[in-house]
C-alpha cells in the first residue's frame, strides 16, 4: 500500500497565519533585527540589546506554545527553558566582562551555565520524535550518531584538538571545551533527525536546524580558538549565536510548530539511496580504527585515547543499530507473513472479496470474485458489478464518501449482481470501511452468493403458503396478506370485502362418491370461483370445503354484494367431474371493511362500526358468522355480516351449553297434541312435541333449539330421550284404554336417521318400554327424505317398518317430492302440511289436489291425515274429501302430559264443545 499524499500541505495551510499571528511574527522579526542592529552599532547598550534578542526568542516560544497548543507541549517548553538558560548564561558572561562572539573570561561561571543547556536541549529534541514509529526513529538516531562520532574523530585530528591539558588551560577549562565540542554536534545531529524522520514540509524544522547549525559553528569555533590561541578569531561568530535565537524563536511562532511533535505522515526521508547510506555509515565507522592504525606508524602517536573512545562508542552504536535493525526486521517479516497468510485466505475464500479504493475503483479481488465476475471486474467502478437499483445505490454511497471523508453511507446489504455469464446473482453484501487501515486503505466488500438459499426459501415459503390441492393460497397466506393490508391501512384506509364460501353438504359428495371425486369437486369449485372474481382479488382455500375471497380496493358495498350474488349463481351450474356433472351449492358470508357505504339505518351504522375493523381475525370471524347465517337460513345463499349476527352467535353458544346441561339432567319436557279420527273426532293418538324448560328463558319451543341441536349433533341425544319418554307415555295410556291402545307420533330428524345404529336404538326402546311397534309412528320430513336420495336412509326406514313401526311423511307438500315418487317411499302415512289445510276452504285446486292424493295413497296403501286443522270448515271439508285422521288446534293444542292424560281418559269427541251446538256457532 502506498501512502496517500496528504491532502493538507502543512506549509500551505500553516503559512497562512491569521492576522494577529502575522503581526506577531513581524514584530518578532523587527525587534530581533533591531536588537541585533543595536548590539552591533551601540557598544554601550550591547548587554541590553542582546538580552532583548534572547528574551524576544523566549517570548516567541511562550506565545507559540500558548497559541498553537502543541501536543505534547513538553519538547517546546523545554526548548524554551534551554533558551532561558542560554539568556541567563549570556547575561552572566557579559556581566563578567565578556562580549558575545568576542573575548571574555574563560572558564567562568557562565560556561557552567552554558554547559547546563545541553542536557535540557537534548531531552527536548528527543521529545520531538518520541511518538514516531520506533523502527524508523531509533534507526535514524543511531545512524546520525554513528556518522557524527565517526567524522567527529576525523575532525578531532584535523583540528588537532589536544587531549592532554594544555599548559595555559586548566583541567576544568579543557573539560568545558570538550563539552562544547561534543554537545553542539550532538544537538545538531538530533535536530537533523527532524527532517530525516520525514518532517520535511515544515518550516519550523528547517529553522530549528538552521539555529542548531549557527550554534554549532560559533561554539566550535569558540572552543577551537581557546585551544589554539594563535588562530584568528572566528568571522561572524556573533551571527551564529544571533541566528540561533532568531530562528528558534521564529520556529516556535509558526503554526506548524504543533505538527513537529507529531509523528510524520510519510516514511523517513532518505537523504541518499540506502546503499550509499550504508557506505557512508561504514566509512564513518571505519574512520577511528583507520586513524588508530595511522597512529601506530607515527613516531608520535596523537589522540590515541580519543580514537579508542570513538572506536568503542561506534562499536556500541553499531551494535545497538544491529539490535534495532533485527527487531525491526522481525516485526516487518512477521507482518509480511501475516499479510501473505491473510492474502491467501482472502484469495481462496468462498465468498467473493473485493477491495475498492475510496473512489470506488476495484483495487483487489479474490479468486472467487474473479470467477464470479470474470472480465467484468476489470471494467470500471465496483458499482458496475451490481444491477439496476443496487448499482445506483452503491455509486451513490461512493459519491458520499468522495464528498465527505467522514461520511458513513448506508451500503445496500441484500443485493443483485450480474455475473460473468450475465446471470443475476442474489448476494449478501458486507461492507467494511478500512480506509484508515494502512494495510487496506479502501472499502472491503464481501459478497456471499445466496441465490440458491433464497430460491429455496422462496420455494419453502410458497409451499407453506399454498394449498397443494387447488394451488390457491392457504389460510396462513390469506392471513399474512390481510395483516399486510391492515398495516398498509394505517396510512391509507382502503375499503374492501372478505367473502367466506362454504360448500353445502360437501360431506355427502365425499361419502357417496369417494374422496377422489371430492377432490375433483374442490378443484373445479376453486376454478369456478376464479372465473368470477377479478385478477387482483385473492382467493384462498382455508381448509376442507371452505374458501375465501379477499376483495381489496372495492369501496362500493353494492359491488361486493354483486360479487357474492354472482358467485352464488355461478355455483348453480354443475361442475364437471369424472363422475359426471355435479351440482354443488354453497353458502356465502360477506363482510365489508374500511370506510364503506354511508349508513342509512342505525342498524347499518352499527354494522359498519364492526366493518371498519380490519383485524384479520375479526374479519374472518365476521365473514364466518355471515356464512353460518346463510347456512342456518337454509343454505345455498349469501348473507352479509351485521352486528346482530354476533349476538346470535353468542346466544347460540350459550344455548348450546345450556341444552347440554338439560340433556345431561334428562330435564326435557314432552307435550302431546291429540290426533283424532275425523268421523268420531275421538283421540286415538298423540304427536309428541318437545319442550325445553330453560332455566332463565322459560319454556322454549322446538323452533328455538331444534336447528341448533341438529347443527351441533345434540339432536341425537335429544331424539333418544324424547322417543323413550313418549313411548313410555303411550304404554301408560294404552294400559288405561287397551283397545286399540294409544298410538304415538315421534318426530325424527334426518340427522338421527343418518346415524348408524338408529334402527337398533329404536328397537331397544321398543323392547325396553314394551310399546307395541304398531303404536309407534316415526315422523320424517319429506324434504329430508327426498333431498338426499339416500339409499341408507331408505334402508333404515325399511328396517324400522320391518320392526312393525310406522313411518309418517311429515309436512307433505312443502318439499318438492312428486306424487309419482311416493310409491317407492317406505312410508305408511302422509301428513298433509298445514299450508294445504289452511287453503282447503278457499282453493278448489287445493281440494282437487288433496282428493287426488287420497286416491293415490289409498291405491298404494298409504294413509293420509291432515295437520293444522284449525276450523270447523276445514274439518268438514277434510271429512268430505275422505280424510281419515286429523290434528290441529281445532281438536287440541299440544298439552302437558297431565292434560293429555285427562283428554285420553275422558275419551270424548274433540273439540269437547261442538261448534255446531255451541252458542257461538
Ligand atoms: P311438526 O312436526 O310439523 O309439528 C307440528 C307443529 O305444528 C307443532 O309445533 C304444533 O304445535 C303445530 N300445530 C299443531 N296444530 C296446529 C294448528 O292447527 N295450527 C298451527 N298453526 N300450528 C299447529 P311445535 O310444537 O312448535 O313443533 C315445531 C316443529 O318442531 C315440529 O313440527 C317438529 O318438526 C319439530 N319437533 C317438535 N318436537 C320434536 C322432536 O321431539 N324431535 C324432532 N326431531 N323434532 C321435533
Ligand atoms: Ca311432526
Ligand atoms: Ca308437520
Residue pair 647/641 in contact by the 8 Å Cβ criterion = no
Report the separation in Å between the CA atom of 698 and the middle of ligand 2, taken as the mean of its atom positions. Answer: 23
Model confidence pTM above 0.75: no
* Across 402-406, 422-426, 516-520, 897-901, least confident range: 402-406
Per-residue pLDDT tens over the stretch 732-770: 999 999 889 999 999 999 889 888 889 999 999 999 999
What whole-number distance in Å separates Cα of residue 786 and Cα of residue 815? 8
Strand partners, 809: 780, 830
The 3-state DSSP class for residue 234 equals coil
Give the rounded percent of residues in the chain with a pLDDT score beyond 70. Answer: 90
Q: What pLDDT does residue 336 have?
A: 81
Q: What pLDDT does residue 559 have?
A: 85
Q: What pLDDT does residue 310 have?
A: 87
Q: Which residues of 95-122 are buried (b: 16+ CB within 10 A; e: fewer)?
A: eeebebbeebebbbebbebbbbbbebbb
Mean pLDDT over the full length of the chain: 85
Under the banding of pLDDT at 50, 70 and 90, the label for residue 554 is confident
Better-predicted residue by pLDDT, 363 or 920? 363
> Is 7 a residue whose pLDDT tops 50?
no
Residue pair 76/257 in contact by the 8 Å Cβ criterion = yes
> Is 866 a residue whose pLDDT tops 90?
yes
> Is 13 a residue whose pLDDT tops 50?
no
> Is 611 a residue whose pLDDT tops 70?
no
The residue whose CB lies within 8 Å of the most ligand 1 atoms, and thus the one to mutate among 662, 671, 706, is 706
Q: Residues with Cβ within 5 Å of ion ligand 3?
A: 810-811
Residue 701, ligand 1, Cβ within 6 A: yes
* Across 218-232, 260-274, 317-331, least confident range: 260-274
- Average pLDDT rounded to a whole number, residues 556-578: 88
Per-residue pLDDT tens over the stretch 801-818: 999 999 999 988 765 555
125, 347, 463, 626 from 252: Cα distances, Å:
13, 50, 77, 92
> Is 681 a residue whose pLDDT tops 90?
yes
Per-residue pLDDT tens over the stretch 435-447: 877 777 788 899 9
> Is 823 a residue whose pLDDT tops 50?
yes
> Is 834 a residue whose pLDDT tops 70?
yes
What whole-number distance in Å separates Cα of residue 203 and Cα of residue 201? 7
Report the separation in Å between the CA atom of 781 and the middle of ligand 1, taken as the mean of its atom positions. Answer: 11
Under the banding of pLDDT at 50, 70 and 90, the label for residue 840 is confident
Locate the ligand 1 atom nearest the alpha carbon of residue 837 and give its number.
18
Per-residue pLDDT tens over the stretch 343-372: 777 777 788 889 888 888 888 888 888 888
Locate the ligand 1 atom nearest the alpha carbon of residue 833 and give its number.
3
Residue 780, ligand 1, Cβ within 6 A: no
Q: What pLDDT does residue 11 have?
A: 35
Per-residue pLDDT tens over the stretch 490-503: 666 567 889 999 99
Q: What pLDDT does residue 597 have?
A: 40
> Is 245 a residue whose pLDDT tops 90?
yes
Better-predicted residue by pLDDT, 820 or 581? 581
Per-residue pLDDT tens over the stretch 472-482: 999 888 888 88
What whole-number distance in Å separates Cα of residue 207 and Cα of residue 213? 10
> Is 658 a residue whose pLDDT tops 80?
yes
499 DSSP 8-state letter: E
Nearest alpha carbon, ligand 1 atom 30: 702
H or E stretch at 249: helix 237-253
Q: In sequence order, what are the residues at sequence separation of 6 or more whose Cβ sits closer than 8 angstroms to the Cβ of residue 848?
A: none
Q: What pLDDT does residue 714 have?
A: 94
- Average pLDDT rounded to a whole number, residues 773-802: 82
Question: Residue for cell digits 281438536?
Answer: 891
Report the separation in Å between the CA atom of 833 and the middle of ligand 3, taken as the mean of its atom positions. Answer: 6
| Cβ count within 10 A of residue 127 | 18
Angle between helices 134-158 and 274-296 (to 10 degrees): 30
Amino acid at each position: 500500500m502506498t501512502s496517500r499524499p496528504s491532502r493538507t500541505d502543512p506549509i500551505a495551510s500553516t503559512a497562512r497565519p491569521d492576522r494577529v499571528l502575522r503581526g506577531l511574527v513581524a514584530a518578532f522579526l523587527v525587534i530581533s533585527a533591531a536588537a541585533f542592529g543595536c548590539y552591533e552599532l551601540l557598544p554601550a547598550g550591547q548587554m541590553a540589546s542582546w538580552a532583548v534578542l534572547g528574551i524576544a526568542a523566549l517570548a516567541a516560544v511562550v506565545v507559540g506554545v500558548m497559541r498553537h497548543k502543541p501536543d505534547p507541549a513538553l519538547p517546546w517548553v523545554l526548548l524554551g527553558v534551554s533558551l532561558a538558560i542560554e539568556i541567563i548564561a549570556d547575561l552572566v558572561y557579559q556581566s563578567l566582562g565578556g562580549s558575545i562572539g568576542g573575548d571574555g573570561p574563560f572558564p567562568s561561571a557562565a560556561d557552567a551555565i552554558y554547559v547546563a543547556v545541553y542536557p535540557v536541549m537534548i531531552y527536548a529534541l528527543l521529545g520531538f520524535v518520541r511518538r514516531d514509529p520506533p523502527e524508523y526513529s531509533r534507526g535514524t538516531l543511531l545512524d546520525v550518531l554513528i556518522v557524527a562520532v565517526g567524522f567527529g574523530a576525523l575532525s578531532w585530528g584535523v583540528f588537532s584538538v589536544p587531549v592532554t591539558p594544555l599548559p595555559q588551560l586548566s583541567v576544568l577549562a579543557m573539560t568545558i571545551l570538550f563539552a562544547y565540542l561534543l554537545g553542539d554536534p550532538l544537538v545538531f545531529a538530533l535536530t537533523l533527525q527532524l527532517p530525516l524522520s520525514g518532517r520535511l514540509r515544515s518550516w519550523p524544522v528547517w529553522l530549528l536546524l538552521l539555529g542548531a547549525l549557527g550554534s554549532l559553528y560559533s561554539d566550535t569555533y569558540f572552543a577551537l580558538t581557546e585551544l589554539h590561541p594563535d588562530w584568528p578569531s572566528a568571522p561572524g561568530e556573533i551571527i551564529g549565536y544571533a541566528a540561533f535565537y532568531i530562528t528558534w524563536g521564529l520556529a516556535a511562532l509558526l503554526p506548524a510548530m504543533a505538527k513537529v511533535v507529531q509523528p510524520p505522515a510519510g516514511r523517513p526521508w532518505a537523504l541518499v539511496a540506502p546503499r550509499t547510506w550504508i557506505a557512508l555509515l561504514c566509512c564513518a565507522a571505519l574512520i577511528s580504527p583507520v586513524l588508530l592504525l595511522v597512529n601506530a606508524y607515527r613516531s608520535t602517536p596523537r589522540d590515541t585515547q580519543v580514537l579508542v573512545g570513538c572506536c568503542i562508542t561506534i562499536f556500541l552504536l553499531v551494535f545497538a543499530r544491529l539490535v534495532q535493525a533485527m527487531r525491526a526486521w522481525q516485526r516487518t517479516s512477521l507482518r509480511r507473513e501475516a499479510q501473505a497468510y491473510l492474502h491467501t485466505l482472502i484469495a481462496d475464500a468462498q465468498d467473493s472479496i473485493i477491495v475498492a479504493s475510496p473512489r470506488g475503483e476495484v483495487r483487489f479481488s479474490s479468486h472467487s470474485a474473479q470467477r464470479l465476475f470474470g472480465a467484468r471486474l476489470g471494467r470500471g467502478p465496483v458499482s458496475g458489478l451490481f444491477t439496476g437499483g443496487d448499482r445506483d445505490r452503491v455509486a451513490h454511497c461512493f459519491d458520499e464518501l468522495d464528498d465527505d471523508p467522514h461520511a458513513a453511507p448506508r451500503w445496500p446489504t441484500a443485493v443483485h449482481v450480474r455475473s460473468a455469464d450475465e446471470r443475476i446473482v442474489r448476494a449478501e453484501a458486507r461492507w467494511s470501511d478500512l480506509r484508515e487501515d494502512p494495510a487496506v486503505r479502501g472499502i472491503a466488500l464481501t459478497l456471499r452468493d445466496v441465490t440458491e438459499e433464497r430460491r429455496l426459501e422462496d420455494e419453502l415459503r410458497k409451499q407453506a403458503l399454498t394449498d397443494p390441492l387447488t394451488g390457491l393460497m392457504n389460510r396462513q397466506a390469506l392471513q399474512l396478506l390481510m395483516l399486510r393490508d391492515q398495516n398498509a391501512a394505517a396510512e391509507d384506509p382502503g375499503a374492501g370485502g372478505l367473502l367466506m364460501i362454504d360448500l353445502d353438504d360437501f360431506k355427502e359428495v365425499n361419502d357417496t362418491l369417494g374422496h377422489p371425486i371430492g377432490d375433483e369437486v374442490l378443484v373445479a369449485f376453486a376454478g369456478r370461483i376464479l372465473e368470477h372474481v377479478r385478477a387482483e382479488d385473492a382467493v384462498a382455500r382455508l381448509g376442507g370445503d371452505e374458501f375465501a375471497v379477499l376483495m381489496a380496493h372495492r369501496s362500493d358495498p353494492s359491488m361486493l354484494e354483486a360479487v357474492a350474488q354472482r358467485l352464488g349463481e355461478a355455483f348453480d351450474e354443475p361442475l364437471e367431474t369424472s363422475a359426471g356433472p355435479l351440482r354443488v351449492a354453497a353458502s356465502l358470508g360477506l363482510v365489508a371493511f374500511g370506510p364503506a357505504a354511508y349508513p342509512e339505518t342505525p342498524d347499518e351504522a352499527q354494522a359498519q362500526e364492526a366493518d371498519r375493523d380490519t383485524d384479520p381475525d375479526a374479519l374472518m370471524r365476521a365473514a364466518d358468522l355471515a356464512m353460518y347465517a346463510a347456512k342456518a337460513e337454509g343454505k345455498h345463499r349469501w348473507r352479509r355480516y351485521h352486528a346482530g349476527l354476533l349476538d346470535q352467535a353468542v346466544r347460540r353458544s350459550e344455548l348450546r351449553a345450556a341444552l347440554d346441561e338439560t340433556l345431561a339432567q334428562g330435564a326435557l319436557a314432552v307435550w302431546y297434541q291429540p290426533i283424532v279420527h275425523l268421523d268420531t273426532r275421538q283421540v286415538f293418538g298423540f304427536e309428541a312435541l318437545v319442550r325445553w324448560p330453560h332455566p332463565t328463558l322459560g319454556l322454549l319451543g322446538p323452533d328455538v333449539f331444534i336447528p341448533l341441536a341438529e347443527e351441533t349433533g345434540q339432536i341425537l341425544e335429544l331424539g333418544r330421550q324424547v322417543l323413550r319418554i313418549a313411548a313410555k307415555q303411550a304404554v301408560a295410556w294404552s294400559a288405561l284404554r287397551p283397545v286399540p291402545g294409544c298410538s304415538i307420533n315421534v318426530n325424527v330428524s334426518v340427522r338421527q336417521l343418518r346415524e348408524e345404529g338408529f334402527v337398533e336404538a329404536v328397537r331397544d326402546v321398543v323392547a325396553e318400554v314394551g310399546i307395541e311397534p304398531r303404536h309407534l309412528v316415526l315422523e320424517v320430513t319429506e324434504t329430508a327424505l327426498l333431498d338426499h336420495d339416500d339409499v341408507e336412509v331408505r334402508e333404515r326406514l325399511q328396517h324400522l317398518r320391518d320392526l312393525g313401526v310406522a313411518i309418517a311423511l311429515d309436512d307433505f307438500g312443502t318439499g318438492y317430492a312428486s306424487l309419482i315418487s311416493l310409491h317407492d317411499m317406505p312410508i305408511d302415512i302422509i301428513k298433509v302440511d298445514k299450508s294445504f289445510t289452511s287453503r282447503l276452504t278457499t282453493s278448489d285446486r287445493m281440494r282437487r289436489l288433496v282428493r287426488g292424493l287420497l286416491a293415490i295413497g289409498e291405491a298404494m296403501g298409504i294413509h293420509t291425515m291432515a295437520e293444522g286443522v284449525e276450523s270447523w270448515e276445514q274439518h268438514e271439508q277434510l271429512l268430505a274429501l275422505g280424510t281419515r285422521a286429523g290434528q290441529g288446534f281445532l281438536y287440541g293444542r299440544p298439552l302437558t302430559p297431565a292434560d293429555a292424560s285427562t283428554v285420553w281418559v275422558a275419551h270424548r269427541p274433540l273439540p269437547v264443545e261442538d261448534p255446531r251446538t255451541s252458542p257461538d256457532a
